[in-house]
Structure 1
C-alpha cells in the first residue's frame, strides 16, 4: 500500500525540517522501490 498523501493543510509553510511533504516524498520513493522489487519477483502480477 502506498503511503497516505498529506492533506493540503498538513504543511504549515514554516520551513520545518523535515516537512511532512519531504517525509511523504521519501516514503513514496521507498514504496516505489519496494513495489518494483516485488513486481520483479512476481512477473505478470501487474497485468490485473
Structure 2
C-alpha cells in the first residue's frame, strides 16, 4: 500500500494538467510532464530555478 506522499507524487506525475510548485523563495520544487509539454522545459532544466 502507498503512503500519502507516494500517492500525491503519482497523482502529480500522471495529471494531464501542468503542476508546478515553488517554495517560498520562488525555487521550483515540483514540475510534472504536462508542465514540460506546455512550457518546453524538462524537469532537469527547471528544478531548483527561480
Check whether TM > 0.5: no
Higher strand share: 2
Higher helix share: 1
